[in-house]
Chain A
Amino acid sequence: MAVYEVFRQEELHEPPAHAGSVEAPNDELAAQYAREVYSRRGEALRLWVVPRLAITQVEDPDFLNSPIERDYRMGQGYRITVAKRRQLRSTEGTAS
């Protein structure tokens, strides 16, 4: 028996989103169980049924979030640039 994660696409332009999981002895029955449990009332356009073991899990906090402060890489920094540019423009205006 293996655990399968089930992803369900409900609308054509939406990505498949995690719906839940099923336990099954093989891929064929996993597909059948996924349909019964996660598209019982025809909710799905498409199901992705993935053995949980096929998923590469990434959860190391140091890997996901650097322990070293690096706010300078964040987009928020550019807000200061916008303010500075505005300030500069108004200064230039007075000069001319």
Chain B
Amino acid sequence: MNVRSGPELSEPLRLALGRYLTTVADDELVIGYRDSEWTAAAPMVEEDVAFSSLAQDEIGHARLYYTLAGELLGEDPDRLALLRPEDQYWHAPVLEEPAAPRYDPSGNHRAGGSWAKAVVRRYLYDLFDDLRTELLLAVRYPPLTGAVEKIRREEQYHLRHGAAWFEMLGNGAGDAHERLQTALSDSWPGLLGLFEPPKGEAALIDAGVVPGSWNLLRDGWLGLVRDRCRASGLHLPETGVEPETGGRLGVHGSGWVELYHDMTMVRRLEPDAAW
């Protein structure tokens, strides 16, 4: 058996796993793109460099997942990343929301932005992704395993970065604590939406390809977030609120309209150009 092609999967399972990995890739691409908007706008120049670097790492992870998904779907990874119709991206909507300040040539600037929102989203997403990549290691598709092991090694440094900011602002003087608490409460339903499973997950679980549902990662994540909040002087928002779902089915908000346009504008000028 060719290791690259992995175990023999039936046609429907192959397509479902392609969709599953595209969903992971979309999360990584979208948060990577949004976080890259902090280049030259983070609180200090060293953080500009560090945060942009983490954002680029996420886009690198997206590329690995799109390549694997592309092999399953018979699709070019660049086309998967940048040439799908707007309503066929499967990321969680919380990741597409703008946080960084924005310069708009037409004069419709967005001043300030919310660094607290960027920190909360980034760290709590990384805690989720840590649990998700642990699950991905147990997916019965050998080509995935090596890629996920590498990604997890890099993610340990992302978690350290996120923890440092979360604790510093949470325990911080002035309005730092207040801003972080507000950002946490505002982002909460969206963050709970991360656990919405990708379409086709149930079939993959039934076939024994995927070991369990993203839904079941939620309790472990809540435990981690509760601990982190306690260490950072924050209170955990109400856990019973309705999560913001629909992203895994392509339902997105106004943040996505803006981001999709920004992200794909160059590629769409000349879709078949060789890069």
User: Is B168 part of the binding interface, using a Cβ–Cβ cutoff of 8 Å?
Assistant: yes
User: Which A residue sits closest to B164, measured CB to CB?
Assistant: A28
Cross-chain contact A33 with B160 (CB below 8 angstroms): no
Collect the chain A residues with CB atoms within 8 Å of residue B44's CB. Answer: 1, 23
User: Is B161 part of the binding interface, using a Cβ–Cβ cutoff of 8 Å?
Assistant: yes
Collect the chain A residues with CB atoms within 8 Å of residue B161's CB. Answer: 29, 32
User: Which A residue sits closest to B168, measured CB to CB?
Assistant: A25
Q: A32-B157, A32-B160, A32-B161 are in contact. Are A26 and B49 (CB under 8 A)?
A: no
Of residues 165 through 206 on chain B, the ones whose CB sits less than 8 Å from some CB of chain A are 165, 168
User: Which B residue sits closest to A27, measured CB to CB?
Assistant: B164
User: Is B265 part of the binding interface, using a Cβ–Cβ cutoff of 8 Å?
Assistant: no
User: Is A43 part of the binding interface, using a Cβ–Cβ cutoff of 8 Å?
Assistant: no
Q: A23-B46, A24-B46 are in contact. Are A36 and B164 (CB under 8 A)?
A: no
Collect the chain A residues with CB atoms within 8 Å of residue B160's CB. Answer: 28, 32
Cross-chain contact B53 with A36 (CB below 8 angstroms): yes
User: Is B50 part of the binding interface, using a Cβ–Cβ cutoff of 8 Å?
Assistant: yes
CA distance A22 to B48 in the complex (A): 12
The listed residue (B46, B157, B168) touching A37 by CB distance below 8 A is B46
Cross-chain contact B168 with A32 (CB below 8 angstroms): no
Cross-chain contact A36 with B168 (CB below 8 angstroms): no
User: Which B residue sits closest to A22, measured CB to CB?
Assistant: B46
What sequence of 0s and 1s flags, for each residue 45-56 of chain B, a beta carbon within 8 Å of any chain A beta carbon?
011011001000
Cross-chain contact A33 with B164 (CB below 8 angstroms): no
Collect the chain B residues with CB atoms within 8 Å of residue A23's CB. Answer: 44, 46
CA distance A29 to B168 in the complex (A): 10
Of residues 1 through 58 on chain A, the ones whose CB sits less than 8 Å from some CB of chain B are 1, 22-26, 28-29, 32-33, 36-37, 40
Collect the chain B residues with CB atoms within 8 Å of residue A26's CB. Answer: 164, 168
Most A CB within 10 A of own CB, among B44, B46, B165, B168: B46
The listed residue (A1, A28, A36) touching B49 by CB distance below 8 A is A36
CA distance A1 to B165 in the complex (A): 13
CA distance A23 to B160 in the complex (A): 18
Collect the chain B residues with CB atoms within 8 Å of residue A29's CB. Answer: 46-47, 50, 161, 164-165
CA distance A33 to B44 in the complex (A): 11
CA distance A24 to B46 in the complex (A): 8
Q: A23-B44, A28-B160 are in contact. Are A33 and B50 (CB under 8 A)?
A: yes
- 10 extra interchain contacts, Cβ-Cβ under 8 A, other than A32-B160, A32-B161, A33-B46? A23-B46, A25-B168, A29-B47, A29-B164, A29-B165, A32-B157, A33-B47, A36-B49, A36-B50, A40-B53
- Contacts from B to A (Cβ < 8 Å): 44, 46-47, 49-50, 53, 157, 160-161, 164-165, 168
Top-10 shortest CB links A-B: A33-B46, A28-B164, A36-B50, A36-B49, A22-B46, A29-B164, A36-B53, A32-B161, A32-B50, A33-B50
- Contacts from A to B (Cβ < 8 Å): 1, 22-26, 28-29, 32-33, 36-37, 40
